[in-house]
Amino acid sequence: MTFAKTSALIINKKLSSHFLILLLISVLIQLWPVFFTQPARFAVRIAICNGLLLLSAAAIYRCLPGKIITFVLLSLLTLNFAIAFNTWDVYQSEFNTVFAMSILATHLAEAKSMSGLYLHSLPVTIAYFFVTWYAIKSLSEHCSGRIKVVGVVLLVIFVAWYSTANWLKKRKDLEVYYPLSSRILTNTPFYTGSEFIIAQRDNALAARIAQQNVHYPALQYHETGIENYVVIVGESARRSNMQLYGFNQDTTPVESALAKSALIFSHAIAPASATVLAVPMILSKADPDHFTADKLADNIVSIARKTGYHTEWISAQGNSGKSNNYIVAIASTSQKTHWIDTKYDTELLPALDDALKTPGKKFIVLHINGSHEMACDRYPASAEILHTGNKYEDCYNNAIRFTDYFIGEVAKRLQGSASSLLYFSDHGLEKNPKLESLYMHGSRNPSKEAYDVPQFIWYSPSALASQKRELGWVQDYWSTANNYSLMLSWLGISTGIENCSSLLETCHQEQTLFSVMDGGRHIFDYDQLRDTFISPDRKTPWRVAKKNSL
């Protein structure tokens, strides 16, 4: 017997006699990136499912079909590990939908150019494959048939349990963002596959909205005397925490100074308490009862582009994920999109400067992080102006003030041209005294606080001089779900359809019913909601969206 064959037999024998150690090493290697990026409960679920999968593979390993199945299973486990490990190793991040979208969009040449980043992890990946293969082989040889059967039964119970639990949760929450298959994979060692499912679905959604053919009887642009239109989509700003609306702290000195040249909405109401639902409804014809692809396709970004505006979307909120998928579909209809990884919203300003240099009339959207939780992270130390002794109250109000500063920086850039600025928040926040951080998104039993938002339209001196503008305070209640109609009038666009939902049209009449949606897709009548989070529970009735809603 040759030395090589003898050595191989000795190594194989030693590995076989320590099959439990091999199993443990395999599971730990798979969990390596998980330990650094996910909570402990996630790692425990993955470890349990991984162990049961390897034991089940050992139960079928000895026959040829079993070896083929084991090879496929092990290849998928290795691929999952390679993706998660490289994401953590290179980017210090968990694998998410953004990475999945990037992989799906990558072509061969780009893959080759990027491969150098990941080659150093190849030895670890190969080691994982062979350690796991020997672990399965050793388990098949040394575990009793009863243990193997128990492993298969427990795996079936594990998958069935989490599948049923996630199915029930999906039904209870009316949550449609995470497909059931994605939820199930999240609890397995194939968890990166969950992000690919979401990425593929989001890509399909964007394509579906882009392919919708919206017909306008007579689309026309009418001269407005304004060259630059900028929309700031705020985030998690409570109207009641703004000095402009009577708050007792100096949170909005800039906006208060701009008020004399603005149309300010006293009682603006957001259509939803979550960004992913509110922003698309504000920018399109969709509403809580009709949240459909064709309504989302009829959006202000698309129609502004069709009427000759140069359109740009500049965002601090990322180009994928649960909070952005419908928003990205709308943003993608613009001529230029900028997804900027920012620490503070002011980092969007250079992109705005470049956009304003484009000749002709422009429609620019700035989607900021505003005062989203955790508010303490939304502004630099130099912007920590307000001090009352309550840390999280101060954090939130300083974040509101930093947004005010950002609005001022945008207004400075528009001051010397014929320009107009529309600012609104996507939704409000509820104040929960039981939370350390105080403020939270609208709950399953929301109050009006979750929907009460600021909104105003400001005009530069040149814009005010060119035409008569509506200024002052709008005292009527206003649903920002009607902002699509409002912006049509603001931009000087007519579609051939009467636009009486716009406050700027002579045919407008005050709205009396306001439908709002919580994050779980429950629809309420705003007037029936309790005033604040700490107000007595009214057990407000709710309904679901109309058929065909997304």
- From first to last of its 550 residues, the chain has per-residue pLDDT tens of 554 454 444 444 444 446 678 788 888 888 888 877 777 888 888 888 888 888 888 889 888 998 999 999 999 999 998 888 888 876 666 777 657 766 776 656 556 555 665 677 788 889 989 988 988 888 888 878 888 888 888 888 888 888 888 777 766 655 455 677 887 888 888 888 888 887 777 777 777 777 778 889 999 999 999 999 999 999 999 999 999 999 999 999 999 999 999 999 999 999 999 888 899 999 999 999 998 888 999 999 999 999 999 999 999 986 655 445 688 889 988 999 999 988 999 999 999 999 999 999 999 999 999 998 888 999 999 999 999 989 999 999 999 999 999 999 999 999 999 999 999 999 999 998 888 888 988 877 889 999 999 999 999 999 999 999 999 999 999 999 999 999 999 999 999 999 999 999 999 999 999 999 987 778 999 999 999 999 998 888 988 877 777 7
pTM to 2 decimals?
0.74
In 3D, which of 404, 402, 408, 410 has the Cα closest to residue 384? 402
Cis peptide before 374 (omega within 30 of 0): yes
Distance from the first to the final alpha carbon of the chain: 68
In 3D, which of 341, 332, 268 has the Cα closest to residue 305? 332
Question: Where does the chain hold its CATH 3.40.720.10 domain(s)?
Answer: 228-528
Structure tokens at 458: 């400001």
CA gap 54, 77 in Å, rounded: 10
| DSSP 8-state secondary structure symbol assigned to residue 530 | B
3, HSE (Cβ side, Cα atoms, 13 Å): 0
Cα torsion through 289, 211, 284, 279, rounded to 10: 90
Question: How many CB atoms sit inside 10 A of residue 543's CB?
Answer: 12
Structure tokens at 466: 């060119």
CA gap 201, 207 in Å, rounded: 10
CA gap 70, 58 in Å, rounded: 8
- CATH architecture of the domain 228-528 equals 3-Layer(aba) Sandwich (3.40)
The answer to whether the beta carbons of residues 77 and 121 sit under 8 Å apart is: no
In 3D, which of 132, 152, 183, 145 has the Cα closest to residue 53? 152
Cα torsion through 67, 84, 187, 140, rounded to 10: 20
In 3D, which of 332, 339, 369, 325 has the Cα closest to residue 178? 325
**CA dihedral sign of residues 102, 104, 106, 112:** positive
Structure tokens at 472: 């002052």
Cα torsion through 389, 390, 396, 399, rounded to 10: 20
Q: What are the backbone dihedrals phi and psi of residue 500, each rounded to the nearest 5 degrees, phi first? A: -80, -5
271, HSE (Cβ side, Cα atoms, 13 Å): 23
Amino acid identity, position 283: L
